[in-house]
Structure 1
Amino acid sequence: MEQFTQYLNLSTSFGTILLLISVICIVGMMIKDRFFSKSSEKSFILDYFKEKSLIIGFLIVSASVLISLIYSEVIGYIPCELCWIQRIFLYPQFVILGLALWKKTRDADLYCLALSIIGTVIAGYHFYGQSIDSSVLPSCDVVGGASCSVRYFVEFGFVTIPMMSVTAFFFLVLLMLLHLRNYNK
């Protein structure tokens, strides 16, 4: 099991870095398109993300839900209070995006945007507490739960479970903003 855990930690951390690079590129393209491009010079990459935002979002949410369940139910990492709160804002998006794709509706973006913004803030706070100032985190371990300051692993010097969460949530925020922009012209 230990070898599987190490492989999962490394592969999900690598995926997080790829997602972070994607976030940086998408934000850069959004800024360029908004302030420095004529309407005829818009990015075809952003157009692709706009068109496929619900599908990509559903895949990111599905992977995030699956990975969080593997970490807690298979490997045995006990989720802390902040992890549970992040799950509250992530898991419904699986159903919302799944139904939106199935029913071919476009109104899921606003709901997922709200959930993802709140999730980003909570995950960012959790990452800050784990990495910079653990005194801001709740003492969950006093009441029998896992401590929010426990880092089950750190890969590449900064990738932890809260970093994975903040990256996934922020990527979902960008996707939903692109989707809103695409259909609310």
Structure 2
Amino acid sequence: MFSRDNRLYAAWVVALVATLGSLYFSNVKGYQPCVLCWYQRICMYPLALWLGIAALRGDLGVRAYALPLAVLGWGFALFQNLETWGVVETIKACSPSSGAVSCTTPWPVWGSGALASLNTILTIPALSLIAFTLIIALLAWKRPRVI
């Protein structure tokens, strides 16, 4: 069972993995981030730093400023996934005609081997949405009152 400190550490690990993953995809694999990916990075990168410091200090006060940033990033991730899934068709945040990378570019995250079928399900935007959801859940998880 998670204690208060473990939930904070878990949220930090999720933010750290998401941050390192985005850096790997762009700097090692050469995948160019779209506009919505940049907005999600702007929300995720500080979380990796803030949650790490807060976890080491046992500072649950980090929730006051980390949770709103995680919710904002979750909103960007949700919107990008809605575009990818074809739910949002009238508003396009990323237009390839402007020279920007399309938000719906299907980067081969899982390669071309045995896991290739996951490329259509667990896309980079979906992984971002999962990461923000986990962070929000871990930070918002109701904690028992200590008397």
Q: TM-score range by the shorter chain?
A: 0.7 to 0.9
Secondary structure of residue in 1 paired with 2:118: coil
Offset of 1:130 from its aligned partner?
0.7
- Which one of the candidate residues 88, 92, 96 is aligned to 1:137? 92
Evaluate the alpha carbon distance shift between residue 142 and residue 75 of structure 1 in structure 2; reply closer, same or farther with a 3 A threshold: same
Contact 1:61 1:90 in 2 (8 A): yes
Structure 2 unaligned residues grouped into runs of 5+: 109-116
In proportion to residue count, which structure has more helix?
Answer: 1
Contact 1:57 1:175 in 2 (8 A): yes
Separation in 2 of the partners of 1:142 and 1:49? 49
Secondary structure of residue in 1 paired with 2:42: helix
What is the one-letter code of the residue matched to 1:170? T
Post-superposition CA distance 1:139-182 (Å, at most 9, x none): 4323322111212136164211111000110111100001xx32
Contact 2:11 2:51 in 1 (8 A): yes
Contact 1:116 1:172 in 2 (8 A): yes
- Which one of the candidate residues 55, 73, 77 is aligned to 1:101? 55
Give the TM-score of the pair, scaled to structure 1: 0.67
Partner of 1:182: 143
Evaluate the alpha carbon distance shift between residue 140 and residue 156 of structure 1 in structure 2; reply closer, same or farther with a 3 A threshold: closer
Number of aligned positions between the proteins: 137
Give the TM-score of the pair, scaled to structure 2: 0.83
Secondary structure of residue in 2 paired with 1:182: coil
Evaluate the alpha carbon distance shift between residue 139 and residue 182 of structure 1 in structure 2; reply closer, same or farther with a 3 A threshold: closer
Question: Between the two proteins, what is the percent identity of the paired residues?
Answer: 26
What is the one-letter code of the residue matched to 2:107? Y
Partner of 2:6: 52
Separation in 1 of the partners of 2:145 and 2:103? 40
Structure number, greater radius of gyration:
1
Separation in 1 of the partners of 2:145 and 2:68? 17
Evaluate the alpha carbon distance shift between residue 52 and residue 158 of structure 1 in structure 2; reply closer, same or farther with a 3 A threshold: same
